Chains A and B, each alone.
Chain A
Amino acid sequence: MLKVKTPKKGKARRELNKRAPKLVETGKKTLILHGTKTSNVLNSVLTQIYHLKKGSAVKYSRKNADIRPFESGGETSLEFFSLKTDCSIFVFGCHSKKRPDNLVIGRTYDHHVYDLVEVGVENFKSMESFTYDRKLAPKVGSKPFIAFIGEGFENVEELKHLKEVLLDLLKEEVVENLNLAGIDRAIVCTAISSNRVLFTHCALRLRKSGTIVPRMEMVEVGPSMDLVVRRHRLPNESLRKEAMKTAKDHPKKKVKNVSQDSIDGKIGKVYIPNQKVGEMVLPNKSKGVKRERREGRRKNEGDDHASKRQKEDTE
C-alpha cells in the first residue's frame, strides 16, 4: 500500500501550509544567486539588492556553475532552488568578458521560469559612498514609493518588460493598511535612452507645506546604477494568461460568536472559563494561614506548652 508522509510536528505542517498555493497571495520572495564568476561590482550590487529586500529575500553565496537562465537545461538547478527556498523572483549575477557585470532578473510561476530580463550594471555607486544625515536612513522593510520616468517605459518593449519586473521586485508586500509615519524611501527609475535605465534609491524627508500633504524632499542614499538592457525573454502567452488569473470572490472569514437578532440587534457571545473557587490563590499567603501549621499546633498543644511558655516568659 502507498505510504502517506505527513510532518510529525505542527510547526512543520504550518510551514508547509504557508507554501501552499493561496487564493490571494501575500508576497513574493527573492532569491539572490551568483554565477561562476562575479566581479567586485556585481558582488556589492547583489548584496545591496539583498539589503533593499531584507526580510523577504534569500541570498546564496556559493558559485553556481550550472545556472544559465537563458539556455535550455540551464534553469534546472535554478528551478530547484526556487522550489527549495519558495522564492518566485530571482536575481542572478555573473560576469564574463562578453557580458560584463551581468544581472539576470527573472520570475517563476509554479517554480518554473516565467520570464527573464538581462541587464548590465554600469556606473555603480554603493550605499557606503553616499554621505547623508543618518537619521534619514530608511528602515528595513518599509514600503517604498516607486517612480518610473520616461516614455521609453511605454514605447520600448524591453524597457516595458523591465519596468514590470522591477516593480514586482521592488514593491513590498501588498498591504491594506499603511502607516503614513512609516513612509521613508523612494526608488526612482528613469529611462535615459532606449536601452538604459538609471536606478536610484532615495530617502524621503517630509517637510511641512501648510496643507495636509507634506512637501516631499529626496535625499539620495544609494545604491545607484545604470541598467543596460541586454537580452530578455517574455513569458509564453498561454502561461501568461494562466499566471494572470485572480480569484473572483475573496473568501469571507467566518465570524464566530456574533449573531444578529431582529430585536436586540447584534449579539456577541463571550466565553469565560470555569471559576474554580476552591483552587483560587489567596492574596494573603502568610505562614499562619497554612493548614499544616495550624493542625500541627493543635496536635502538639500539650507537649509544646512548656517551651511556649518559656518563650512568652523570655519576651
Chain B
Amino acid sequence: METEQQLHVDLGNLMAFDPHHHFPSLPSSREDLVKECLDQGTKLVQAIADKLFNLPSTEDVDGPIVKLPPPTTRLPREKHLPKPKPPTKWELFAKARGIKKRKKDKIEYDEKTGTWKRHYGYDHANDDDNVPIIDAKMTDEPGEDPFAKRRSDKMKRVEKQEKNRVQNLKQAAKAGALPSHVQLAATALPITGTQAVAKKMTKHELGNVAGLAATATASGGKFDKKLPGEKPAKHKGKHRKFLPAVEGTGIGSQEKEQTDKVLNKLLSKNSHEILNVNKAINMYNVKKEKHRRNKPEKSSASSSKLKPKKKLQKKPLNKGSSKKGKTK
C-alpha cells in the first residue's frame, strides 16, 4: 500500500509514474537491466489496472466498458481556443434598437393562385417580380421599363447585401474569428482555422526596413558594401534642423528668410482665395448705399451750378423720350 501511494497514477491517460525508484547499482548485462525495468513496469501497470478494473463498468457485447476520469496531467493545446465571432453591423444595430428576431413560417398563402407556397426561393408566394402587369402611376417616368427597373433594383439589393457580408467577414478576420472554411482571396495561404491573416509588406516598408538594417553597424552603414539596386538610407543622422531664432546677419537672417519663403508660397498659392467675392460685393453695396444717403444732403446744400449738370447727365439716358418729344 505504501508504494502505491507514492505512485502518480493518471487514469485518464492510463499513465503511472514512479518518481522514487532508484537503481542501487546498474546491472552489468543488458538482459538483466531490461528484466528489472520490465519488473518495475509490471508493478506500475498493475497499479493502473487496480484502479481501472475497480471503476464501475457497464457490460457490452464487446466487453466491459468503464468511464475514464479526465486526465490529470496537463498538456499543451494544439491550437488556440476558438475566438468569439464579432457581431455584424446589423446585429449591433438590432441590439441598439432592441430589434428581436422572430421566426417566419416557411410557407405562406399566395393570393394570386390561392395556394400555399414557400415565402422564398423559386416560385415563391406573393412574388413582386413575377407579375404580368404593373399599374402605371402618375410618378412614372415615360420611356422607362418598370419591369427592368424592378429587376435592376433587386440586383442592386443583392449586391449591397454581398458587400455587407464581405465587410462583416473582414471584421471577423480582423478579430481572428473567420469561419474555418472561408478564405478571403487577398490571403493566398492554405486555409486552416488557425492561420492568422498574413500582412503583406509594401515595397516602401521593405525599403525602410532594409535602410534601417543597413545602418545597424558600428559605422552607421558608412563602410558597408552596397548591394546592386540598393538605395541610400533615407534618414541619415539628424532628422530635423532648427535655425537660430535670434535675428542678425548671415545665419541669423536665414530663419526669417525661410519663414518668409513659406509665407509667400502659401500666399501666392492661395491668392485667388484672398479675394472673397461675396464680401467684396457686400462692401461695395454698403459703400454705394452710404453714398446715396449722403447725396440728398449734398444736393440740397449744393450750388445751382450742379443742377443743369445733372440734367445734362440724364439727357442721354432719356434719349427715347426726347426723341418722342421731337416727333410730337
- Measured CB to CB, the residues of A under 8 A from B are 1-7, 12-13, 16-17, 19-23, 25, 28, 83-84, 86, 88, 107-111, 114, 123, 143-151, 153-154, 163-164, 167-168, 171, 174-183, 186, 188, 190, 192-193, 198, 200, 202, 204, 212-218, 220, 224, 235, 240, 242-247
Cβ–Cβ < 8 Å partners of B191 in chain A: 5, 16
Residue in B14, B37, B53, B60 whose CB lies within 8 Å of A200: B37
> Taking CB as reference atom, which chain B residue is nearest A224?
B34
**Bound: A72/B14 CA distance, A:** 36
Please tell me if the beta carbons of B81 and A247 are within 8 angstroms of each other in the complex. yes
Q: How many whole Å from A212's CB to the nearest CB in chain B?
A: 5
Cα–Cα distance between A111 and B191 once the two chains are bound (Å) = 13
Q: Do A83 and B19 contact each other (CB < 8 Å), given the known contacts A25-B78, A178-B66?
A: no
Given contacts A180-B65, A200-B37, A224-B34, contact A244 B76 (CB under 8 A): yes
A145-B14, A150-B21 given; A16·B181 CB < 8 A: yes
Q: Do residues A214 and B183 form an inter-chain contact, with CB atoms below 8 A? A: no
What class of interface size applies to chain B in its complex with A?
35 or more
Of all chain A residues, which has the CB nearest B40?
A149
Q: Which of A5, A107, A202, A242 contacts B80 (CB under 8 A)?
A: A242
Mind listing 8 A-B residue pairs with CB under 8 Å? A4-B184, A19-B180, A20-B193, A109-B77, A181-B63, A188-B41, A200-B41, A213-B49
Asked whether A181 lies within 8 Å of B62 as measured between CB atoms, the reply is yes
Most B CB atoms within 10 A — which of A145, A153, A179, A214? A145
Contact of A220 among B23, B34, B65, B68 (CB under 8 A): B34
State the Cβ distance, B11 to closest chain A Cβ, in Å. Answer: 10
Contact B34 A198 (CB under 8 A): yes
* Given pairs A107-B76, A183-B49, A220-B38, 8 additional interface contacts (CB within 8 A): A17-B180, A21-B82, A110-B80, A147-B40, A149-B37, A188-B41, A192-B23, A200-B37
Do the beta carbons of A186 and B68 come within 8 Å of each other? no
Chain B residues 64 to 90 lying within 8 A of chain A, measured CB to CB, are 64-68, 70-71, 73-82
Identify B64's interface contact among A175, A181, A220, CB under 8 A.
Answer: A181
Question: With A4-B183, A23-B82 known to touch, is A174 a contact of B22 (CB < 8 Å)?
Answer: no
Q: Which residues of chain A are near B50, meaning CB under 8 Å? A: 213
Contact call A171/B15, Cβ cutoff below 8 A:
yes
Q: Once the chains bind, are A110 and B53 in contact (CB under 8 Å)?
A: no
Contact of B78 (CB < 8 Å), options: A109, A181, A200: A109
Could you tell me if B53 and A214 are in contact, using CB atoms closer than 8 angstroms? Answer: yes
Measured CA separation A186–B21 after assembly (Å): 19
Interface hit among B134-142, B162-170, B288-296: B162-170
B63 to chain A: closest residue by CB? A181
| Contact (Cβ within 8 A) B19 A178 | no
Q: Which residues of A contact B71 (CB under 8 A)?
A: 174
Could you say which residues of chain B place their CB within 8 Å of the CB of A193?
A: 26
Q: Which of B42, B66, B73 contacts A217 (CB 8 A)?
A: B42
The verdict on B106 contacting chain A, using a C-beta distance below 8 Å, is: no
Partner of A21, one of B23, B30, B81: B81
Contact across chains for B15 and A178 when beta carbons are under 8 A apart: no
For the complex, would chain A's binding face be called helix, strand, loop or mixed by DSSP majority? Answer: mixed
Report if A179-B67 is in contact (Cβ < 8 Å); known contacts: A212-B53, A242-B80. Answer: no
* CB pair B180 A16 closer than 8 Å: yes
Q: How far is the CB of B153 from chain A (nearest CB, A)?
A: 20
Q: What is the CA–CA distance of A162 and B33 in the complex, to the nearest angstrom?
A: 21
Which listed residue, A1, A148, A204, touches B18 by the CB 8 Å rule?
A: A148
10 pairs of A and B residues whose beta carbons are closest in the complex: A181-B63, A20-B193, A20-B180, A188-B41, A243-B76, A3-B185, A147-B44, A21-B79, A5-B183, A88-B78
Residues in chain B near residue A192, CB distance under 8 A = 23, 26, 33
Whether A177 lies near B185 (C-beta < 8 A) is: no
Chain A residue contacts of B82, Cβ below 8 A: 20-23
Contact of A123 among B20, B30, B76 (CB under 8 A): B30
Chain B, residues 161-198, CB within 8 Å of chain A (1/0): the string is: 01101100110000000011111111000111111000
- Report the Cα distance A26→B321, complex, angstroms: 109
- Asked if B13 is at the interface (CB within 8 A of a chain A CB), the reply is yes
List chain B residues, Cβ under 8 A from A147.
15-18, 40-41, 44-45, 48
Which of B23, B41, B65 has its CB near the most chain A CB atoms (within 10 A)? B41
Whether B12 sits at the interface, judged by CB under 8 Å, is yes
B21→A149 contact, CB < 8 A: yes
